[in-house]
């Protein structure tokens, strides 16, 4: 038993607003592998789900996150902390804003080498008895204008979709840290794997 590649999307200097995947009901566990995400501005990768009975990507998500960071210029500062701004509350779904959960840290585009990579695991997306749980682990290199503002960030997120309906799709977008869709995805390799 192992992971099976289901689908892959790749964008190399091609701006796109959304990346959608259909969730295959053959798998109990779905793994998304993200490589080289770079948005059009200082933004993060956001995600949201859809069910067969709903018309939009707006399911109620509850999540929490911690992150650690380190200055890459001289390694003088580092910490690990709870990151309240990455949290999502299930009451935010279907509102005019704050509807996308964050995959990981934002990417600052001040330097050409800034990008983010990581993994997200989604458990039993087609179960109709329980909420749907997910975990993300991601790494981002944030580079501001000055060399002393180079950050190496690692984020860990845990959450659930507060819906017992089967999830049929997931959408990825370029997002503000508040969860608003903004800008475009310019570079991205995103693969979806299934585990039976």
Residues 6+ apart with CB under 8 A from 75: none
pLDDT digit string, tens, across residues 90-139: 665 555 444 888 887 777 666 667 788 899 999 999 999 999 999 999 88
pLDDT digit string, tens, across residues 149-162: 667 778 889 999 99
Domain boundaries, the chain: 11-187
| DSSP characters over 95-132 | SSS--PEESS--B-BTSTT--EEEEEEEE-TT-SSS-E
Does pTM top 0.85 for this prediction?
Answer: yes
Higher pLDDT, 40 or 130: 130
In sign, the C-alpha dihedral spanning 46, 52, 58, 61 is negative
Task: State how far the Cα of 159 lies from the Cα of 44, in Å rounded to an integer.
Answer: 17
Q: Is 128 exposed, middle or buried (0-12, 13-18, 19+ CB in 10 A)?
A: exposed
73 pLDDT above the threshold of 80: no
Task: State how far the Cα of 108 lies from the Cα of 151, in Å rounded to an integer.
Answer: 10
């Amino acid at each position: 038993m192992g992971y099976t590649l289901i689908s892959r999307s790749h964008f190399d200097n091609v701006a796109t607003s959304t990346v959608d995947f259909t969730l295959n009901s053959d798998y109990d566990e779905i793994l998304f592998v993200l490589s080289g995400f770079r948005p059009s501005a200082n933004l993060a990768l956001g995600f949201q789900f859809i069910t067969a009975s709903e018309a939009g990507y707006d399911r109620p998500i509850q999540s929490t996150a911690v992150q650690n960071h380190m200055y890459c210029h001289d390694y003088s500062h580092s910490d690990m902390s709870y990151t309240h701004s990455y949290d999502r509350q299930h009451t935010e779904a279907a509102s005019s804003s704050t509807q996308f959960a964050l995959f990981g840290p934002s990417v600052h585009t001040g330097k050409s080498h800034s990008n983010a990579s990581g993994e997200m695991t989604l458990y039993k997306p087609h179960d109709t008895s329980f909420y749907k749980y997910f975990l993300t682990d991601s790494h981002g290199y944030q580079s501001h204008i000055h060399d002393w503002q180079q950050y190496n960030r690692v984020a860990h997120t845990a959450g659930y979709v507060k819906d017992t309906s089967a999830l049929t799709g997931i959408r990825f977008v370029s997002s503000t840290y508040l969860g608003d869709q903004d800008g475009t995805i310019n570079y991205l390799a995103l693969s979806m794997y299934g585990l039976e």
